[in-house]
Structure 1
Amino acid sequence: MEASVPVNRDDSFCRLSWMQRVGFGSGDLAQNLIYQTISMYLLFFYTNVYGLLPKVAAVMFLIVRIIDVIWDPLVGTFVDKRNPSMGKYRSYLITGGVPLTGFAILCFWNGFSGSLLYAYVTYVGLSMCYTLVNVPYGALNASLSRSTDEITILTSVRMFMANIGGLAVGMGIPLVLRFFDSAETTDMSTSDSAWLKTMMLYGVVGLGLLIFCFSQSRERVVMDKSHAENVKVADLWMEFVHNKPLRVLAFFFITAFAMMAIGNSAGAYYINYNLHGSAAQLSIFMGLGSIPAFIFMPMIPSIKRAVGKKGMFYIFLTVAIVGMAMLYVISVVESLRSHMWLVYVAQFIKSTGVIVATGYMWALVPEVISFGEYTHGCRIAGIVNALTGIFYKAGMALGGVVPGLVLAFVGFDQTNEVSQTAFTQQGILWLVAVIPAMLLMLAMFIISRYDLSDEKIEEINREIERRNK
């Protein structure tokens, strides 16, 4: 593989303006407005509005994830090999963003009500277009600057805005649906026109944000055009084999996203059956999963300077484990269980640790890209982001399987909407606190094997620049 060079060597270590940082972060906000809507609400739309059986929709979701595993590395190779006139990576914010928006809207159109073929075509199309935006967007992060401090700030801004998108979807969709369907008295409309209008609104806003991201992004560190033609899909495997920091990060991704998926999926069961809480209390509990991002994500650069990269991971992974331990104790001690404010405090502490640790891990992706460039001379940012995407989805898939197995093991009765046995409640508590805490301990061990310090990655980037000159 050939050497890569930055587009403009003189400013490859530059600091970006806040407009550029916010512009880049708006890309993640845009993707969350579209894809989080799909993730949170498409199953409900398919079963309650479109007319698919739950098991049919579940099989379709699994098939789409399998397609993703094949499609992601193909997209990573595609974007690394090509150099569009509008930018190697940023151009896909437009060329992929337009069809992504179109397919998102079509997924919530009831014109072919009950048609499984239409559902497959639109959902597969949406997932493929999302990858066509998301993989280049991840690679774009590594192309804006080589500065580790700048990458840290960019990641903080990106995660801050991503959580804005998550809140806008999680708490905003029911409100927008009610606006478009004023006759609806429940929290979730079954009006097909209300769903279509809601997705049109979110999709158009998301596309506008992708265009803004495109306008504020300038690629400074990418592979030279003359060397891109040598990139091939097999480079994904070679990169994984020879890039130890990438392997460490990949296994951290699996563990972290499995932990989040398991904990999040159990939240509604926990509030409903263990604490017998209300819908409003569930909303607060789930909302506290995002709120800490707005407090602590802007503080990440300062925290990292004070305690170091690994120190920050150790501290916040420990904070998350403490929060989970608190949830467990509160749930098993009868005198504490009725104090919902204690549950909220524990959830806030847990979420603080999870958000900071899992948010900052995205800042490590540009580092493993630079390490690969330093080792073998090729900056295959698209392929590396495709690889991390595969492990991210593997973690999410694992997180989707474990709760069902645990609930089946403890005898969860889905016909009983009021109460469950003590053994079933204990199983739900495993999903909320015990299993995620065990995964966090594993994640702490995994990240201890990551040996790219800020000083080392800075030295690597300077050496790459010297080679190029």
Structure 2
Amino acid sequence: MDKRMETKWPERISYGLSDAADNLVFQVMTTYLLFFYTDVYGLKPGAVAILFVVARIADTLESLLIGLMIDRTHSRFGKSRPFFLWYALPYVVFAVLTFITPDFSETGKLVWAYATYLGLGFFYTAVNVPITSVLPTMTQNERELTLLGVIRQFCGSSVQIVVAVFTLPLVAFFGQGNQKMGFLLTIIAFGIISLILILNTFFHIRERHTIKEISHQPLKKVMQMLWRNKQWLIISVVIFLYWLVTSIKNQTTIYYFKYVLHDEGLVPWANSFTLAALIGVLLIMHLTSSRSKKKTMQIGIILAFGGQCILSIGVYSGLLPVLFGGILFNSIGHGIIVGLVSIMIADTIRYGMAMGIQAEGVLASTDDFGVNLGLGFGGLVTAGLFHVAGYLPNHAQNTATLHMININYVWLPLIIYIMMMAVLHFYDEEKMQHAIKNKHVAN
């Protein structure tokens, strides 16, 4: 394995900032869009639940489509890199359109939400899948791949925290009591920064390792490779479960503090403890220096589960310091898990190359596929359960709704963490790394 580093720090930082750019908009969408649709724009929770399901179904198909487009791209800029140039502006435009609130009828509002949100989902996929697909083409150095993945996630997690902590204060500042205007001006500010950062990534990164003989294989051969690539299948399920639990927790947070604790102002404080995710991300380089990525991710899941247990004690005892402490430890675990995702996907791409198929677009699309599927089911679970319980926006909630909020905020995440650990058990990292090093896969 080549020990020489192939990238310089300006390129590494520019690569990492691509995830920061996407997350400026993406985290507003995942954390606050359900609240925006129900409590600001006035859509019914049941209608929003259906919208989220439709959008996620569309997004999962789009993930594969974008992956196929990458694998069939012939450009002087490479296969993945041109997508940052082509789709950055449409992504930002649709982000802004999603938070525009025209005074339509109830049906008109729902049609507008479908058109803008589905468009945003497509263009998000177009600028997000290339972040993962380009990674294994930037370097073949094992530690450098891990370093680049850590830098990416550090930048992405930093922005997630910025969005989680400052979105509502910015909405209040820009809106001056008008949440519609506040959300719109906030997303415009985030969108401008996002556009600059995505274009910066395009100009500063390079694709170095594309093997022409195996980089544009027929779809039939690619699908055969996917079926044989068991580690890719397993990590894909883990990614789905991670984003499922993240969606449920993030979307329920504002409802918990607004309707259970009756203090919406605590949301930025609670979200500020997710800063601990950066600790988890930074621990990856140290932990993977002496253990496998699989074992490192298992440590992350254990920490996330333990933090969720502490959070549950805080919820049922009413002790805010305990609840916040649970969020802190849970976030450290989340940082480890999500920081390893793109790195482990890059390993499965290199595993595919060892099989004679370089299909980084399709393989990387599983990252976005898992995000979209997880968010879709998470939105369905959250909005659907609230609808069944009789949730009424901006009113005191009935006992059934308060119970549903606690189930979403406490118990469902605990179950999902156990499922993640069970699935990851079957990930055979040793077999995959042996094949990569020896450039062949035993059938």
Give the TM-score normalised by structure 1.
0.82
Counterparts of residues 129-208 of structure 1 (less than 5 Å): 129-181=123-175, 184-185=176-177, 189-191=179-181, 195-208=183-196
Counterparts of residues 340-419 of structure 1 (less than 5 Å): 340-375=320-355, 377-404=356-383, 411=389, 414=392, 417-418=395-396
Q: Taking structure 1 as reference, are residues 399 and 217 closer, same or farther at Cα in structure 2, changes over 3 Å only? A: same
Q: Which amino acid aligns with 2:371?
A: Y
Q: Which runs of 5+ in 1 are unaligned?
A: 1-9
1:268 and 2:254 equivalent?
A: yes
What residue is the counterpart of 1:5 in the other structure? none
What residue is the counterpart of 1:258 in the other structure? 244
Q: Deviations over 1:181-209 (max 9, x none)?
A: 4xx23xx6223xx5444333221211110
Q: Distance in 1 between matches of 2:354 and 2:435?
A: 7
Q: Taking structure 1 as reference, are residues 346 and 206 closer, same or farther at Cα in structure 2, changes over 3 Å only? A: same
Q: Taking structure 1 as reference, are residues 373 and 216 closer, same or farther at Cα in structure 2, changes over 3 Å only? A: same
- Do the aligned residues in 1 keep the contact of 2:85 with 2:202 (CA within 8 Å)? yes
Counterparts of residues 429-448 of structure 1 (less than 5 Å): 429-448=406-425
Q: Deviations over 1:131-179 (max 9, x none)?
A: 1111122101221112221122112111111122223323333343444
The structure 2 residue matched to 1:240, chosen from 201, 223, 226, is: 226
The answer to which of 260-269 and 295-304 deviates more is: 260-269
Q: Secondary structure at the match of 2:89?
A: helix
Q: Taking structure 1 as reference, are residues 147 and 201 closer, same or farther at Cα in structure 2, changes over 3 Å only? A: same
Q: Which runs of 5+ in 2 are unaligned?
A: none
Q: Which amino acid aligns with 1:393?
A: N
Q: Taking structure 1 as reference, are residues 60 and 434 closer, same or farther at Cα in structure 2, changes over 3 Å only? A: closer
- Do the aligned residues in 2 keep the contact of 1:92 with 1:136 (CA within 8 Å)? yes
- Do the aligned residues in 2 keep the contact of 1:252 with 1:443 (CA within 8 Å)? yes
Q: Deviations over 1:63-90 (max 9, x none)?
A: 2222223222122111101122222211
Q: Distance in 2 between matches of 1:111 and 1:424?
A: 30
Counterparts of residues 115-134 of structure 1 (less than 5 Å): 115=108, 118-134=112-128
Q: How much has 1:417 moved relative to structure 2?
A: 4.5
- Do the aligned residues in 2 keep the contact of 1:328 with 1:429 (CA within 8 Å)? no
What residue is the counterpart of 1:97 in the other structure? 88
Q: Taking structure 1 as reference, are residues 307 and 268 closer, same or farther at Cα in structure 2, changes over 3 Å only? A: same
Q: Which amino acid aligns with 1:262?
A: I
What residue is the counterpart of 2:210 in the other structure? 222
Q: Distance in 1 between matches of 2:434 and 2:249?
A: 39
Aligned length, in residue pairs: 437
The structure 2 residue matched to 1:231, chosen from 215, 218, 226, is: 218
Q: Distance in 2 between matches of 1:90 and 1:458?
A: 26
- Do the aligned residues in 2 keep the contact of 1:236 with 1:387 (CA within 8 Å)? no
**RMSD of aligned C-alpha atoms?**
3.1
Q: Secondary structure at the match of 2:289?
A: helix
Q: How much has 1:26 moved relative to structure 2?
A: 0.4
Q: How much has 1:16 moved relative to structure 2?
A: 2.5
The structure 2 residue matched to 1:24, chosen from 15, 22, 34, is: 15
What residue is the counterpart of 1:284 in the other structure? 269
- Do the aligned residues in 2 keep the contact of 1:370 with 1:460 (CA within 8 Å)? no
- Do the aligned residues in 1 keep the contact of 2:30 with 2:247 (CA within 8 Å)? no
Q: How much has 1:440 moved relative to structure 2?
A: 1.3
What residue is the counterpart of 1:301 in the other structure? 285
Q: How much has 1:112 moved relative to structure 2?
A: 7.7
1:322 and 2:306 equivalent?
A: yes
Q: Deviations over 1:412-461 (max 9, x none)?
A: 6547955654x7655544333333222212211211211124xx655544
Q: Taking structure 1 as reference, are residues 69 and 367 closer, same or farther at Cα in structure 2, changes over 3 Å only? A: same
Q: Identity percentage over the alignment?
A: 23
Q: Distance in 2 between matches of 1:230 and 1:21?
A: 29
Q: Taking structure 1 as reference, are residues 53 and 236 closer, same or farther at Cα in structure 2, changes over 3 Å only? A: farther
Q: Secondary structure at the match of 1:84?
A: coil
Give the TM-score normalised by structure 2.
0.87
The structure 1 residue matched to 2:98, chosen from 85, 107, 126, is: 107
